Amino acid sequence: MTAPPPLAMLAELTHRCPLSCPYCSNPLELDKRSDELDTGTWVRVFEEAAAIGVIHLHLSGGEPGARRDLADLVRGAAGAGLYTNLITSGIGLDRPRLEAIAEAGLDHVQLSIQDVDEAAADRVAGLAGSHRRKRDFARMVGEIGLPLTINCVIHRENVARAGDMVHEAVSMGARRVEVAHAQYYGWGLQNRAALMPDREDALAAGETVERLRAELVGTIVIDYVPPDHFARFPKPCVNGWGRQSLNITPRGRVLPCHAAESIPGLEFWNVAEHSLADVWQNSPAFNAFRGTDWMQEPCRSCARKEVDFGGCRCQAMALAGDPRATDPVCSYSPLHHLVREITGGTHEGEGWTPRGREQRAKDEPIPLPVS
Ligand code: SF4
Ligand code: FES
């Protein structure tokens, strides 16, 4: 069976990053700078992506600003006809570089913030002055004339300020804000107990954001990613495995989702050895959970199986130890009690472990920035 074309591709240009966010969803083992794809290979991959139907290209990391060839990469992607979105911490890109990237054809900037309280934001980021730099960066994005989306990750410590994040995004000049509850993959999975908000606080954050969505129509568009551990049904992760999107790691492995390497036994192909068209259609990893034939009960006979696709394969692996299982977040799952155990009670007082230098691929200094 021929898979329909993908819509979006996430290019993880590097795992190097100047920040230490405890909810980092990148894998525990990061790709080294010396293993990263070179400029020419990335541009070839962008051209192949456009040829198989990809429209949106997300340039991510780590911090993509750590790549000195970022403007060349954007030029190559824009030349291939892709819509380019730079997902950045705002740390490491000064004005001349951002202008060069804009001139190369960048379409959109997505800037992450950690909090609205500067001291709290800097503590989560693990970098003094980072929030002030992000405000400077947002202003620079507006002056250059690029559209801006603010992204903020919600967790136990900042859940009461979810509404303030929206107002902060408005003050930063964003047209869009994504308020997303933490997802527990990679490094973030290790810190789950400390990051998970209490149920009442998570639900209150959702109500606040919904109220602001109505109040701020015409001012800012709000995307809200709810905390699926408190939901009745799981999220349709990546809109279904191998249906719409693909991720490429810094060293060129092509993944159906961000955390797919956490599933043992999957065979990932690399862009160094296969064309993207070949990977998309034929790689064993992409075909492992396409369609619905792989499903077990209760998903197999569930009316929602084409709605949420059984939830998240990586979460099923993490919680149930079986990537074919119904995502235990689902209230129909026979293992749903595992989620109730995780979300029950309070985690007050539990500390998180910041993503430290020894875990980050940081074998080259990042040019830190912006006045
Ligand atoms: Fe979705 Fe499977 Fe739950 Fe049905 S049983 S709602 S398909 S996760
Ligand atoms: Fe891998 Fe959800 S993160 S399927």
What ipTM was estimated for this complex?
0.95
DSSP single-letter state for residue 209? H
Q: What is the mean pLDDT of the chain?
A: 93
Distance (Å) from CA 254 to ligand 1 centroid: 27
pLDDT at 141 over 60: yes
Cα separation values, 267 from 28, 99, 260, 289, 322, Å: 19, 40, 10, 13, 16
pLDDT band at 370 (very low <50, low <70, confident <90, very high): very low
pLDDT at 257 over 70: yes
The 10s digit of each residue's pLDDT in 38-90 is 999 999 999 999 999 999 999 999 999 999 999 999 999 999 999 999 999 99
Which residue, judged by its Cα, is nearest atom 8 of ligand 1? 310
pLDDT band at 94 (very low <50, low <70, confident <90, very high): very high
Rounded to 10 degrees, the C-alpha dihedral 310/315/317/322 comes to -30
Residue 187, judged by CB atoms within 10 A of its CB (0-12, 13-18, 19+), counts as buried
pLDDT on residue 295: 97
The 10s digit of each residue's pLDDT in 185-241 is 998 998 998 999 999 999 999 999 999 999 999 999 999 999 988 999 999 999 999
Which residue, judged by its Cα, is nearest atom 3 of ligand 1? 330
Query: Is the CB of 314 within 6 Å of ligand 2?
Result: yes
pLDDT on residue 362: 47
pLDDT at 349 over 80: no
pLDDT on residue 346: 60
pLDDT on residue 261: 96
What would the mean pLDDT of 153-177 be, rounded to a whole number?
Answer: 97
